[in-house]
Amino acid sequence: MTKTLSRSIALSLTTLAAAALLVAAAPAPDPADPHLDLEQIEGAGPIATVKQWNAATAKALTSQPRFAAYRKRAEALLEDDAQIAEPDRVIGDRVLNVWHDAKNPRGLWRVASLDSFAAGKPDWTVLIDIDALGRSEGKSWVWHGVTCRTPAYDRCIVALADGGTDAVVQREFDVGSKSFVGGGFVVPQAKSSVAWADPDALYLATDYGDDSMTTSGYPRRLKLWRRGTPLASARQLAEIGASDVELSISSIIDGASAYPVATREIDTYRHEISHVASDGRLVRSPLPLDGNLLDIIDGRAVAQLNSAWRGMPAGSLVAYRVADVLAGTAPAIEQVMVPTKSQSIEEVAAGRSVLWVKLLDDVSGKLISLARGPDGRWAQTAAPLPANATVHLDAAAGVRDTAFVTVQGMLLPPTLYAVTPGSAPRQVQALPARFDASKMRVEQRFATSKDGTRIPYFLVRRIDSKGPVPTLVHAYGGFRAAQTPTYLLSEPYRAGPTGLFWVEEGNAYVLANIRGGSEYGPAWHDATVREKHQNAFDDFYAVAEDLVRTGVTTKGRIAASGRSNGGLLVSAAMTQRPDLYGAIVMGSPLADMKRYSQLLAGASWMGEYGDPAKPEDWAFIRLYSPYQALKPGVRYPAPFIYTSTKDDRVHPGHARKFAARLQDLGSPFYYYEALEGGHAAGADRREDAYRAALITTYLDTVLGTEKAAARSPN
């Protein structure tokens, strides 16, 4: 560990005592992998180890002076009734929303009329109290969405996960009576997808037993299930290979029409899209394997290209008539929109006659509407929303040309607008300021990566900050997931208000737009795929080094933060550049890249990373795989590692084995594994608040900011 880290840990005898627990005797070694036993998710031995690590971390951090205040304030911020009621979707002339607050940590599923919602005075009716349902049924239900039948929207298939896993139970719900349908459709717990075929039948991809799941753990068979018949008798419509990722079904609503779409995921980024005919036939879309079908408007499917096709560049939007495909006629392909070099199309939603497009322009959010003229050309109109902000396209009303969008920035509280072409955006709801932003400033900067690429990042700190100060840098760097700045009390992702507390105390927070996301279109992601993944790491280091060069911070006073693929990023940073970082916040991480493809959903990501079972792929993966990269005799920063036992996407064994390897080396670490929460690492906002308090206290401890903490408002 660095000298700075040694000094800060030495500040507390309690912390030292707990650290000693974390470097206790390791499990008995195995010649191939001494910690394979930790991959037993619910195994008695691994759970006992996890509980020991959790207890040591709690002893080290919850006894610190600021922990209780952090936790109390985090709960108040995350569970405050002053929240934006963002529309989850618009169904006909109604708006659906799931509401969370202190009294309802798991949420209320509710509905309001479209008119009342758009006017900012929603007349909510609660359909399901998820907390009460869980108590009555003895389950830890976490909401996972809903699929309603059109055009009446009177029945819905509700997805609930016990403990927050990706695997869900799906049950038929009657909206009018606000109750589950007795004798209705029930899909047992599984990773599954569903769409209505007609009022009394479902298209269903689920676990049918008998080798019906892929090696990635997702369905490989699509069937038509009729009401009143056993699931075992459902008629099979399609089947994919076991080595494919998944066969899924969804339904795209266009006015009063529903268009079922089946998708065969070949690997992470290649898929066959098929439209489902009324007789159950699957008819292939003309799109290339890397094209993404986004929505349907006036019978035209709108898709985005991820590589050049038919003379249209990567990143473009195209359209074709679904009726032509179903009729067996080669459809005409229309060019809808071509983004500029600085732009990236992020979200698309269809209204009644306009297509809404949210895009990034140098990572700043913009909203435009596209209308198709009689000549087949699509005309653009920009919506006059606040500049230099993050825009999220929440939903579009298919029965009218209205879109609901949320606009926010690190210091700009979220505001929900109703936007209609040709009219000024109408404010529906605005979140009041939750902290004093007048004492802070945000700036966008650019670093230069190892290969000369210009990497943007956002820096927020107090106006009176005079560097160098401890700095928290958060990033993701993969899977085309752009990172845009949101209101500071929710940054970094899934760490609650840690970013806010950190800045208030006089430190700096950075959101880095490293390659791997989609900030500048498909090429920004393609630069990190497979053997090029080191580029994401190099971008991350370039941002940290730019912060040092410009006097914001110094080496050893930088905390690297990332979750999921971002957890891989920061664990690689810890092993590749231990000189640069003094703290590592490692959430739900991938760490053992030798075995990732054999753990839970890992096989579905080989398009991103490569296949470690192939020697030619392992040759480049092994160069950064964090678990294998940990070596004796190296002073690593003590990381804060967090995950969830119920994470059925990224196996908790990654986090456990990385911690165990540190234990072998006598290198201190902090570990917290929530028993529930799935890949989100927390089942509700109280859990998020607890984790935020742990992380903030950890940062105070290892980066030595106790004096700065005394200036906090609480």
For the residues of 172-224, what is the DSSP string, one character each? EEETTTTEEPTT--EEEEES-EEEEEETTEEEEE---SSS-B-TTSSB-EEEE
537 and 422 within one domain: no
495 and 380 within one domain: no
Pairwise CA distance, residues 679 & 691, whole Å: 14
Which of helix, strand or coil describes residue 46?
Answer: helix
Position 191 in a domain: no
Q: Are 544 and 515 contacting, i.e. CB atoms less than 8 angstroms apart?
A: no
Last residue of a domain, one of 433, 468, 489: 433
Position 255 in a domain: no
**Across the chain, what does the average pLDDT equal?**
91
Q: What are 398-446's pLDDT values in tens digits?
A: 899 999 999 999 999 999 999 999 899 999 999 999 999 999 999 999 9
**Token code pair at residue 113:** 């009329």
For residues 609-622, average pLDDT: 97
Tell me which of 579 and 683 has the higher pLDDT: 579
| pLDDT given for residue 31 in this prediction | 63
Q: Is 474 a catalytic residue?
A: no
Which of helix, strand or coil describes residue 23?
Answer: coil
Q: How many CA atoms lie within 13 A of 621 on its CB side?
A: 24
Last residue of a domain, one of 389, 416, 433: 433
How many domains in the chain?
2
For residue 655, give its domain range: 3-29+48-77+435-592+625-709
pLDDT tops 70 at residue 383: yes
Assign residue 127 a region: left if phi > 0, alpha if psi is -120 to 50, beta otherwise?
alpha
Q: Are 712 and 436 contacting, i.e. CB atoms less than 8 angstroms apart?
A: no
Position 456 in a domain: yes
Pairwise CA distance, residues 8 & 354, whole Å: 57
| pLDDT given for residue 551 in this prediction | 97
For residues 505-511, average pLDDT: 96
Question: Could you tell me the sign of the dihedral formed by the alpha carbons of 622, 627, 633, 638, in that order?
Answer: positive
Pairwise CA distance, residues 507 & 548, whole Å: 14
Q: Are 558 and 580 contacting, i.e. CB atoms less than 8 angstroms apart?
A: yes
Q: What are 284-295's pLDDT values in tens digits?
A: 999 999 999 999
Q: What are 252-285's pLDDT values in tens digits?
A: 999 989 999 999 999 999 999 999 999 999 999 9
Last residue of a domain, one of 410, 433, 456: 433
10 and 60 within one domain: yes
Position 547 in a domain: yes
Which among 520, 399, 396 has a CA at the least distance from the CA of 455? 520
| pLDDT given for residue 491 in this prediction | 56
Q: Are 49 and 56 contacting, i.e. CB atoms less than 8 angstroms apart?
A: no
Position 153 in a domain: no
Position 683 in a domain: yes
409 and 477 within one domain: no
CB atoms within 10 A of CB 658: 29
Query: Kindly report the CA angle at 681 between 678 and 687, in degrees rounded to 5?
Result: 120
Indicate which residue of 100, 533, 654, 679 is catalytic. Answer: 679
Position 363 in a domain: yes
Q: Are 379 and 393 contacting, i.e. CB atoms less than 8 angstroms apart?
A: no
401 and 507 within one domain: no
633 and 538 within one domain: yes
* pLDDT bucket at 13, cuts 50 / 70 / 90: very low
336 CA to centre of own chain: 28
Q: Are 483 and 444 contacting, i.e. CB atoms less than 8 angstroms apart?
A: no
Question: What burial letters (b/e) apply to 295-333, b meaning 16+ CB within 10 Å?
Answer: bbbeebbbbbbbbebeebbbbbbbbbbbeebbeeeebeb
644 and 513 within one domain: yes
Q: Is 679 a catalytic residue?
A: yes
345 and 478 within one domain: no
541 and 408 within one domain: no
Q: What percent of the chain has pLDDT over 90?
A: 87
Q: For residue 129, what are the β-bridge partners? A: 108
429 and 557 within one domain: no
Position 374 in a domain: yes
Indicate which residue of 8, 212, 274, 564 is catalytic. Answer: 564
Pairwise CA distance, residues 503 & 288, whole Å: 46
pTM value > 0.95: no
pLDDT tops 80 at residue 17: no
567 and 460 within one domain: yes
Contacts of 692 (CB under 8 A, 6+ apart): 70, 71, 74, 495, 496, 497, 498, 501
Q: What are 125-171's pLDDT values in tens digits?
A: 999 999 999 999 999 999 999 999 999 999 999 999 998 888 999 99
Pairwise CA distance, residues 650 & 593, whole Å: 12
Which among 548, 551, 549, 550 has a CA at the least distance from the CA of 582? 548
665 and 542 within one domain: yes
Q: State the angle between helix axes of 44-61 and 685-703 in degrees (0 to 180), rounded to the nearest 10.
A: 60
CATH number at residue 20: 3.40.50.1820
* CB-based contacts of 5-10 (< 8 A; 24+ apart in sequence): 5/556, 5/582, 5/583, 5/635, 5/637, 5/638, 5/702, 7/704, 8/701, 8/702, 8/703, 8/704, 9/638, 9/668, 9/701, 9/702
Tell me which of 188 and 25 has the higher pLDDT: 188
| pLDDT given for residue 473 in this prediction | 97
Pairwise CA distance, residues 629 & 627, whole Å: 5
Which among 624, 573, 618, 616 has a CA at the least distance from the CA of 598? 618
Pairwise CA distance, residues 504 & 472, whole Å: 13
Tell me which of 707 and 344 has the higher pLDDT: 344
pLDDT tops 70 at residue 3: no
| pLDDT given for residue 102 in this prediction | 86
For residues 464-492, average pLDDT: 90
Q: What are 544-601's pLDDT values in tens digits?
A: 999 999 999 999 999 999 999 999 999 999 999 999 999 999 999 999 999 999 999 9
CB atoms within 10 A of CB 536: 27
Pairwise CA distance, residues 484 & 481, whole Å: 10
Q: Are 317 and 311 contacting, i.e. CB atoms less than 8 angstroms apart?
A: no
Complete edge-to-edge strand list for the sheet that includes strand 300-304: 292-297, 300-304, 317-321, 334-337
Lowest model confidence (mean pLDDT) among 8-17, 187-196, 258-267, 507-516: 8-17
